[in-house]
Amino acid sequence: MDAAVMDAMKKWPNVPAVSGYISLDQSGHWRHHPAGDANQHPGQVGERIAHQGLLAFFNRNYQADEQGRWFIQNGPQRVYVRLDAAPLIVSLAQDQAHLQDHTGRPVETIQAWYISAEGRLYLRSSAGPALLAGRDVPALLEQLRTDQHGLESLDLEQAQRSEGWSLPAYPQACSLTVWSSCVSPAEELAYIVLPEPDPI
């Protein structure tokens, strides 16, 4: 978090939080909802934010509270973010081996993998719950394996959990869970899709 932001929080500690103005889409793009109605209209995509300085500010000051509500700390004000897919969207870095999230931070460790009924690949990482960007799923699935086999050995239409999965760039073995269609990624990974501020 920026030093100026922390100073503003100390100077004005009681500024009410807001929600509905910013969303994060499944590709890791920040989007603006000028009317503040993002949570009331979850299907509304909003306007993609392209200003590089603003994007850099968002990326530096994005984090979560203890309830699983992700937010941007905009000076003294907390701006809760609607999550269209996950709190973090990760993709393969330039080396096509390591991962980085949509804020540009590298993924240091991976604790668990999850495959949804729709074929999306989620992970629990050192930075938080994440979804792998769809364009990188095929390449990463080729690398994800145990000592004995790869994903071709699993029936991905059957809910199950197995151990010992890793990537060459992340050799620490962890679990892989195939979710059934009734599983909510947000509930399993403890994040809130449509966060609202606490009542004043």
Query: Can you tell me the mean pLDDT for 63-75?
Result: 96
For residue 192, pLDDT beyond 70 = yes
For residue 126, pLDDT beyond 70 = yes
Kindly report the pTM of this predicted structure.
Answer: 0.92
Query: In this structure, which topology does domain 3-84 adopt according to CATH?
Result: duf1285 like fold (3.10.540)
Query: Can you tell me the mean pLDDT for 129-133?
Result: 97
Locate the domains of the chain by residue range.
Answer: 3-84, 88-188
Give residue-wise pLDDT tens across range 72-86. 999 899 999 999 999
Q: Which structure tokens are listed for 89?
A: 């969207």
Give residue-wise pLDDT tens across range 93-123. 999 999 999 999 999 999 999 999 999 999 9
Q: What is the per-residue DSSP string for 134-197?
A: GGGHHHHHHH-B-SS-BGGGS-TTS-EEEEEEEETTEEEEEEEEEPPTT--HHHHHT--SS--P
